[in-house]
């Protein structure tokens, strides 16, 4: 029997965790001499109070959706993929190569090519840790951490060497051709003299991320492969007994996870920077871990958690600009949300489980067996044949 209702696990625990994080964050802001309510108002208005704020909020949320889905898919197989940062970096390399060296006639074809290249490069970067885990028993956490550093070093080498344009000092590739530029929210939602999302980086990749949320839900809960992934995550031994190969599940799951993380480059490299730059991922691979934990590895939860973290990122920037709060304090607030929704999950979960256990009705008592009734004229069978024979 479940210790608490499903809705409490999916909704109540994250809400309480957020409230606790908000209270502690308010105390931090108060301690540095600012009004917490004023700071909250600035964060909300700066992130969702205008199309400008929404443009940045949804841009950040798009990055977090890609990496959050990547972590969520791996979590269903009990694989803790924390290599989303490196996989997104290598996905950006794939986008840069197809955007710079293939003459695309239209942005729609460039978008399809970038999606394919980013997914392929991200999956390839996740494949090596997956094979090491499946074949050699190397822990996926250690190998994916190592590959994050390798990806960063590789990108740094390429941007100061082979991919660096002649005569420039910046660690970035040449700008992508205009034919590869995908529509921004400003292009899509401005009509006549009404210009919305002016100067914001939100672009068509947001809808790709939403579509992937739906596709991941279909994969995990409506396909045979998704069933095998979840069965392997629940019990590796039982899955093997049922004929589900552990090597196949580990490798396939990590390939899907790496592809999802790599596709983040469609948003930040193709859609926003329109060239490959150093540090383009900006920690989104690690934020994806918190997004997946807060969203309980469910695509809908990942979507909502991504929006929340997008609000925190954009609102935090506005807070820093309006009140002069140091950037480090903004990081502290974000870290508190991650801590309460992830690391301190049991601090909220265990009291709630005890509360719901008290409210659960006690099981009905089982009545003891009564005397056996026999038809009239027929004697009862002796309970001890040996005793009956003696008598």
Q: Where are the domains of the chain?
A: 67-192+215-294
CB contact at 8 A, 90 and 121: yes
Mean pLDDT (whole number) for 358-372: 66
Q: Which residue has the tokens 């009990």?
A: 78
Q: Give the chain's largest Cα–Cα span.
A: 115
d(CA 188, CA 349): 43
Count of other CB atoms within 10 angstroms of residue 362:
5
Mean pLDDT (whole number) for 168-185: 94
Check residue 34 and give its pLDDT: 87
**What's the chain's average pLDDT?**
88
d(CA 142, CA 229): 21
Neighbouring residues of 118: CB distance < 8 A, sequence distance ≥ 6: 91, 92, 94, 95, 259, 262, 263, 264, 265, 266
> Which pLDDT band, with edges at 50, 70 and 90, does 135 fall under?
very high
Cα–Cα distances (Å) from 37 to 43, 239, 295, in that order, read 10, 51, 27
d(CA 78, CA 288): 16
| Percent of the chain residues past pLDDT 90, beyond the cut | 61
Check residue 388 and give its pLDDT: 45
User: CA 152 from chain center: how many Å?
Assistant: 21
Does the reported pTM lie above 0.85?
yes
> Which pLDDT band, with edges at 50, 70 and 90, does 255 fall under?
very high
């Amino acid at each position: 029997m479940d210790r608490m209702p499903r809705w409490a696990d999916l909704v109540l625990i994250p809400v309480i965790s957020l409230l606790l994080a908000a209270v502690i964050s308010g105390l931090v802001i108060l301690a540095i001499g600012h009004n917490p309510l004023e700071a909250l108002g600035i964060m909300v208005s700066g992130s969702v109070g205008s199309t400008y704020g929404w443009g940045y909020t949804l841009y950040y949320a798009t990055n977090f959706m890609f990496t959050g889905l990547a972590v969520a898919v791996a979590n269903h197989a009990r694989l803790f993929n924390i290599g989303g940062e490196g996989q997104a970096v290598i996905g950006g390399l794939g986008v840069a190569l197809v955007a710079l060296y293939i003459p695309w006639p239209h942005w729609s074809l460039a978008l399809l090519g970038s999606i394919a290249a980013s997914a392929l490069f991200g999956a390839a970067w996740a494949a090596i840790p997956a094979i090491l885990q499946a074949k050699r028993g190397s822990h996926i956490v250690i190998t994916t951490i190592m590959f994050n550093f390798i990806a960063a070093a590789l990108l740094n080498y390429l941007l100061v060497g082979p991919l660096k344009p002649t005569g420039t000092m910046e660690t970035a590739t040449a700008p992508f051709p205009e034919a590869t530029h995908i529509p921004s929210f400003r292009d899509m939602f401005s009509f006549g003299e009404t210009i919305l999302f002016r100067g914001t980086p939100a672009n068509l990749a947001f809808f790709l991320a939403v579509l992937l949320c739906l596709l991941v839900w279909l994969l995990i809960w409506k396909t045979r492969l998704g069933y095998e992934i979840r069965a392997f995550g629940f019990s590796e031994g039982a899955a093997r007994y049922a004929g589900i190969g552990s090597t196949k599940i580990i490798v396939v799951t990590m390939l899907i996870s790496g592809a999802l993380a790599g596709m983040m480059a469609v948003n930040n490299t193709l859609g926003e920077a329109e060239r490959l730059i150093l540090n383009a991922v900006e920690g989104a691979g690690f934020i994806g871990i918190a997004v997946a934990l807060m969203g309980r590895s469910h695509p809908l939860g990942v979507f909502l958690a991504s929006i929340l973290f997008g609000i925190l990122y954009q609102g935090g920037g506005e807070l820093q600009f309006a009140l002069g709060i140091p950037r480090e304090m903004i990081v502290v607030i974000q870290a508190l949300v991650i801590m309460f929704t992830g690391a301190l999950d049991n601090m909220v979960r265990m009291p709630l489980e005890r509360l719901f256990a008290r409210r659960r009705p006690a099981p009905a008592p089982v009545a003891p067996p009564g005397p056996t009734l026999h038809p009239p004229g027929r004697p009862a069978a002796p309970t001890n044949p040996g005793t009956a024979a003696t008598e």
